[in-house]
């Protein structure tokens, strides 16, 4: 790793910039989104994958602020894509300007600005800020994870059969059906399920012990970059997807993200494999 890169400093910057974007997200929602039906919003990968003025304006703000505070870094963002491929040792910001856009567009309060920081593909720092509650989740690699300054710890549960597990469903209807079928097969095997609609906050919920585990297939890098580090730094076992087209060494599916309390992670993975996770 580049010795000049300080994870704590990057964590601070990620919090500062995510907070500014969170304020903007609320202002834009009041101005634009609430005034119209979600049916009128533009879409991306499918009819339900909406993009709002908030997504676009927040990402523009994040790019502008990072350009001032970290001019030598590169950015990968959900709306604007990659500005450049990182050089070896160069810092890369992974930006989800609004994670949980469907919640945002419908007036549900569970959405967040998520900023992850990596060097050579290794996570260094990240922040997830919730505009409505003002909660700030953050972490730096090797330094732990915090919610509003309080240290986070994943749950101490050891029985997968009692676990509350969060999951997500893809925008693509065919994949969503396969995911729902897996969920139906798993439904009798764990304590309960949640579908909260914001991957970064699902991962933060694992970090806080609010849920015991989370899995989802087909996320984009910006959905999990910050939250996966926050969960890991809180002691959760985290499995990230490989590079596109890469192998699936553990049978969970090459695109699986899984985060779970250490006492249930192996058991939850076994249950998913036994119930056909590979078909998702």
Asked whether position 223 contacts ligand IPD by CB under 6 A, the answer is: yes
Contacts of 169 (CB under 8 A, 6+ apart): 176, 179, 180, 195
Q: Which is nearer to ligand IPD, 169 or 252 (CB)?
A: 169
Which of these, 219, 46, 25, 179, lies nearest to 103 by C-alpha position?
Answer: 25
The token pair that represents 266 in the structure block: 């192996």
The binder of ligand IPD chosen from 219, 228, 236, 260 (CB under 6 A): 219
Answer yes or no: are the C-beta atoms of 193 and 182 closer than 8 Å.
no
Cβ neighbors of 54 (< 8 A, separation 6 or more) are: 24, 25, 28, 29, 32, 33, 97, 98, 101, 104
Interface segment toward ligand IPD; rule CB under 6 A; list 16-24, 94-102, 129-137, 180-188: 94-102
What's the DSSP call for residue 52?
-
Picked from Ca ion, ligand IPD, none, the partner binding residue 259 (CB below 5 to 8 A depending on kind) is none
Please report, as residue ranges, which positions from 101 to 120 form the binding site for ligand IPD (by CB under 6 A).
Answer: 101-102
CA neighbor of 202 nearest in space, from 239, 173, 256, 166: 166
- The yes or no reply on residue 199 touching ligand IPD (CB under 6 A) is yes
Select from 197, 241, 253, 267 the one that contacts ligand IPD (CB under 6 A).
197
Measured from each CB, the residue nearest to ligand IPD is 168
For residues 151 to 190, the per-residue mask of contacts with ligand IPD, x marking binding by CB under 6 A and - elsewhere, is -----------------xxx--------------------
């Amino acid at each position: 790793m580049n010795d000049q890169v300080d994870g704590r400093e990057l964590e601070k910057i990620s919090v500062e910039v995510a907070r500014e974007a969170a304020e903007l997200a609320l202002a834009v929602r009041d101005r634009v989104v609430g005034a119209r039906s979600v049916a009128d919003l533009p879409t991306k990968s499918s009819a339900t994958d909406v993009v709002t003025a908030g997504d676009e304006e927040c990402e523009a703000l994040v790019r502008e602020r990072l350009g001032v505070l970290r001019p030598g870094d590169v950015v990968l963002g959900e709306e604007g894509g990659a500005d450049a491929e990182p050089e070896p040792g160069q810092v890369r910001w992974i930006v989800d300007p609004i994670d949980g856009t469907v919640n945002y567009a419908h007036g549900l309060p569970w959405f967040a600005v998520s900023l992850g920081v990596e060097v050579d593909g290794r996570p260094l720092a990240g922040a997830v800020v919730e505009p409505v509650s003002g909660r700030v989740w953050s972490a730096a690699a090797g330094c732990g994870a915090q919610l509003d300054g309080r240290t986070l710890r994943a749950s101490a549960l050891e029985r997968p059969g009692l676990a509350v597990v969060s999951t997500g469903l893809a925008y693509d209807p065919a994949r969503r059906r396969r995911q729902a079928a897996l969920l139906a097969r798993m439904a009798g095997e764990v304590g309960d399920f949640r579908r909260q609609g914001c991957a970064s906050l699902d991962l933060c919920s694992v970090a806080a012990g609010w849920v015991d585990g989370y899995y989802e297939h087909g996320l984009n890098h910006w959905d999990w970059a910050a939250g996966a580090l926050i969960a890991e730094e809180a002691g959760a076992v985290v499995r990230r997807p490989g590079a596109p087209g890469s192998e699936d060494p553990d049978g969970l599916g090459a695109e699986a993200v899984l985060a779970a309390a250490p006492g249930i992670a192996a058991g939850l993975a076994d249950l998913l494999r036994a119930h056909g996770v590979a078909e998702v």
